[in-house]
Structure 1
Amino acid sequence: MIEQIQRLLGYPELIHGISTRQGGVSVPPHATLNLGFSRPDDPSAVLANRRRFADRVGFRLDDVILAGQVHGTTVAVVGELQRGRGAIDRETTLPPADGLVTNQPGLVLWANFADCTPLLFFDPVAQAVGVAHAGWQGTVNNIAQVMISTMQAQFGSEPANILVAIGPAIGPCCYEVDQPVIGAVEQAFAEHTSQVLLRQLGKQRPHFDLWAANAHWLEQAGIQPANLIRMNMCTACHHDRFFSHRHERGATGRFAAVIGLREVHHAV
């Protein structure tokens, strides 16, 4: 039901997890752990799935915050006032923001995916966290940099201290692209285009490497290579494990990536 990132398990104050598609109650084509209310699935099944995932990772669904995802680069700084928004229904979801950051313990930031790249951010020094949804548009327009800049401005984060996990997404093995993606990538990455837009033998169209593209931006923003955690797991190749919009031609569910800081309860 969940994937956890070994490197992040060493921080007891951190809550994090990435769901798989297994262990829920939704029926095909959303079988079985669909966590997205945006899909034409039974809302009661989605809510049951969310409760299962929250229980498994170890947080309360009431503490979750979700925003609308529109493939943009808006990053929202959230706190107590946003607690619970979007957690149990779609109507209370925050206005569109493809990135969320907080330094408030007890909140869990949540974003949904089905081929786009989950980015999880953790600053163990400033004690701040973030999650970003980076599809090709968010990647090309550098939501990674916006996340880092926001954490610097809001929490005093130093990029050299931030750990970033690049989660399961459609890999360069499967993400064949054409215009307008090719043109956007060439414009954004300039002389680095060949590192992220791969020409494969026998393939007419290039393949976009979302993992390498986001890693490039993160390193440009000051993230240390040793602090980049790459899961290198392709959602299309592993469509039995994760939902994949490309492999399933849009008729599929959504998996989630979550991150938060635990509340510290001091003894009286």
Structure 2
Amino acid sequence: MIEQIQRLLRYPELIHGISTRQGGVSVPPHATLNLGFSRPDDPAAVLANRRRFADRVGFRLDDAILAGQVHGTTVAVVGELQRGRGAIERETTLPPADGLVTNQPGLVLWANFADCTPLLFFDPVAQAVGVAHAGWQGTVNNIAQVMITTMQAQFGSQPANILAAIGPAIGPCCYEVDQPVIGAVEQAFAEHSAQMLLRQLGKPRPHFDLWAANAHWLLQAGIQPANLIRMNMCTACHHDRFFSHRHERGATGRFAAVIGLREVHHAV
């Protein structure tokens, strides 16, 4: 039901997890652990799935925060006032923001995916966390850097201290792209980088490497190579484990990436 990143498990104050598509109650084509209210699935099934996922990761669903996702680069700084927004019902979802950051313990930041790239951030020094949703548009427009600069401005984070993880997403093996994407990549990246990111694999059109593109931005923003975690797991290749919009031609569910800081309860 969940994937966890071993490097992040070293920090007991950290809550994190990435759901698989298995272990829920939704029926095809959203079988079985669909976590997205945006899909034409039974809302009661989605809510039951969310509760199962939250229980398995180890947090209360009421403490989660979700924003609308529109393939942009807006990053929202959230706190106590936003606790629970979008977690139980779609109507309370925060306004569009493809990135969320906080330094408040007890809150869990949540974003949904089905081929786009999950980016998780953790600053163990400033004690701050973030999650971002990076499809091709968020990637070429560098939401990775916006996340880091927001953490710097809001929490005093130093990029060299931040751990950044690139979660499961459609890989360069499967992400064949057309001219609008090709043009955006060529414009966003230097010519040499664009050639490396648009791979010619013997197919009519090149394949865009979302993993490498986000890694490029993260390293350029000051993330240390030793602090960059890459899962290198293709959601289209592993559509039995993750929902894949491309492989299932849009008729599919959503998996989630979550991150938060545990509340510390002091003895009296």
* 8 Å Cα contact 1:197-1:206 kept in structure 2: no
List runs of 5+ in structure 2 lacking aligned partners: none
Shift of 1:254: 0.0
Aligned mates of 2:209, 2:178 — CA distance in 1:
13
Aligned mates of 2:265, 2:244 — CA distance in 1:
40
Identity rate of aligned residues, in percent? 96
* 8 Å Cα contact 1:195-1:212 kept in structure 2: no
Shift of 1:195: 5.2
Larger CA deviation: 192-201 vs 21-30: 192-201
* 8 Å Cα contact 2:172-2:199 kept in structure 1: no
Shift of 1:218: 0.4
Shift of 1:138: 0.1
Aligned mates of 2:135, 2:80 — CA distance in 1:
28
* 8 Å Cα contact 2:185-2:194 kept in structure 1: no
TM-superposition CA deviations, 1:244-265 (whole Å, max 9, x none):
0000000000000000000000
- Cross-structure match for 2:13: 13
Length-normalised TM-score, structure 1: 0.99
Q: Which runs of 4+ in 1 moved over 4 A?
A: none
Shift of 1:180: 0.3
Paired positions, count = 268
Shift of 1:191: 2.6
Aligned mates of 2:21, 2:195 — CA distance in 1:
31
Shift of 1:200: 2.6
SS at match of 1:91: helix
Shift of 1:119: 0.1
Q: How does 1:5-84 map to 2 (within 5 A)?
A: 5-84=5-84
* 8 Å Cα contact 1:76-1:99 kept in structure 2: yes
TM-superposition CA deviations, 1:66-123 (whole Å, max 9, x none):
0000000000000000000000110000000000000000000000000000000000
Aligned mates of 1:203, 1:128 — CA distance in 2:
42
SS at match of 1:38: coil
Aligned mates of 2:218, 2:18 — CA distance in 1:
20
TM-superposition CA deviations, 1:124-168 (whole Å, max 9, x none):
000000000000000000000000000000000000000001000
Aligned mates of 2:199, 2:155 — CA distance in 1:
41
* 8 Å Cα contact 1:115-1:246 kept in structure 2: yes
Length-normalised TM-score, structure 2: 0.99
